[in-house]
Structure 1
Amino acid sequence: MYNLTENNNAHKDIDGAAAKADLQPGEKVFTVILFAVTVFLFYRSILLWQMAPGISGPAMLPLLSSGLAALLLAASIAVNIWKTTPASGRNLTFSQKTYIVLEYLFSKNVIVTIIFIFAYCVLLNFSVPFYLSSALFLWGLMSFLAKGGLVKNIIWTAMVLAFIAVVFGMLFSVVMP
């Protein structure tokens, strides 16, 4: 069982290394996972292309996009394989490295944003009007992330909602939830 204090100390040890690192924590692993998913999608698009071959068939766009993505991700893996991360050259356990990555990915701002998105979805699900729930979401999140400027955030919220109303409501006739 790992000790949370050890993980915190491990993170403090590599704070200086983070500034010297070429990549962010977890970037190599994420690229490999994304490459595996893209290769699977490329395989599925090949199966689709076999059912309806042809340059104008329904499989051509998925085939080209997943193939190009797989090539670019393979190139990214090849380029990044020798680059350093904040945990490079450190004698850290897997759990310590995982803790560092999760702490980087789920900072306080990210967690609060996820909570705001969840609350926004709940408000919409309970039939709170779209413009009211959107105004609360935008103003609240902007106020949190900007650390003040409440009046400025009200103005920005009003501008965004006006843009949504004009573009989607009037021009495209989208019915808001």
Structure 2
Amino acid sequence: MTFATADLCDAHEDRLAAGTLRVLDPVFRWFGRAPCFSGPALTLKVFEDNSLVRATLETPGEGRVLVVDGGGSLRCALVGGNLGQFAQNNGWAGVVVNGCVRDSLELNALDVGIAALATHPQRSLRRGIGERDVPVRMPGATVRTGDWIYADIDGVLVADAPLAV
């Protein structure tokens, strides 16, 4: 399925006005070869620890979008080439990271979409700390597990329910 977030915003202005469709702040960089991705969100809240990110991406994605609130940290990467490979191979539609990624050349060779704040060469700590399926505060909007994510190079949308595309 292909779509453009700009077209979705135009077609659903009523939902934007009602707040049932929200636009994340335009702070994300795009990685991967997928021109767009969408699916129901699964949320994680972590800080400079990607243990839960890895454990989640190692499971079947079933077309979902992993939304990772990394607290906006720019001090290490939460997703790299290996985790991007897990996302692609395990059927995740995409990943949105409020934090950094690394191995950008490897990520850009994958058939998955990843949106993140920046790149950082240092890997995260691995303490096994984090929360799953909790509301996460991403730049511009709160995302809950089960919300629908629509993302492309122009932006990331969060909808309370699936949109007609």
- Higher Rg of the two aligned structures: 1
RCO (CA 8 Å, sep 6+): is it higher in 1 or 2?
2
Give the number of the structure whose residues are more often strand, by fraction: 2
Give the number of the structure whose residues are more often helix, by fraction: 1
**TM-score w.r.t. length of structure 2:** 0.22
**TM-score w.r.t. length of structure 1:** 0.21
